[in-house]
Amino acid sequence: MSQTIFIIQTFTMASDFDEDRIRIHAVDPEGAFQAIFITRRLAGRFVPLLVTHAEAQVKAAIPADLALSFEQERLRLNRDDNPQPAVESLPDAAPWLCRTIHLNAHPEGLQWTMTDDAAIDAHMVLNEEGVRTVLDVLLITYRALEWSEQAFPEWVSARGQVSVVAPGSLN
């Protein structure tokens, strides 16, 4: 049996509450559609690898956490100002379960491969900003599913959290 190769151009990540899984609605350059399930366990193994890759790419004179916090907020503001249309799920598209995720070096950054280990490989090449975008979207999905955010560093998870300052502590 030959392996089907699906090249992801863009995707939308959704929370599947019935399955307690992440569902990726992906489209390729020709407009073909795939629906891919990722389990909590697999996502929990995948997120730290993306974090490690993102942190290794920092080449700033300031601490990596601070540089990544600035870059992550810039990415979010840009995404808020320039929203992209969601990839719409096709009603007759049968979702498949991703059993393995591979991350490999690629000339343009990082190749993210999801496979069912039998019939299909879905690939997407992520540049540095793409890796951080995927982390951000994963965090949003984790929060929607009420999964633990422990795998995410503060530079990813800090958005939307308000620090309480005691009265009189600011001058």
- Give the domain range for residue 54: 4-157
- pLDDT at 3 (0 to 100): 82
Tally of structural domains, the chain: 1
166 in any annotated domain: no
Q: What is the pLDDT of residue 115?
A: 95
Query: Is residue 24 a part of any domain in this protein?
Result: yes
Amino acid letter, 138: L
For residue 146, the model assigns a pLDDT of 94
Give the separation between CA 45 and CA 155, rounded to whole angstroms. 19
Mean pLDDT by 10 residues, the chain (171 residues): 85 91 93 93 94 83 71 72 70 84 93 93 92 90 93 81 46 42
Domain membership of residue 170 (yes or no) is no
Residue/partner pairs of 110-117 with CB below 8 Å, 24 or more apart: 110/53, 114/24, 114/36, 114/38
Q: Enter the pTM of the model.
A: 0.81
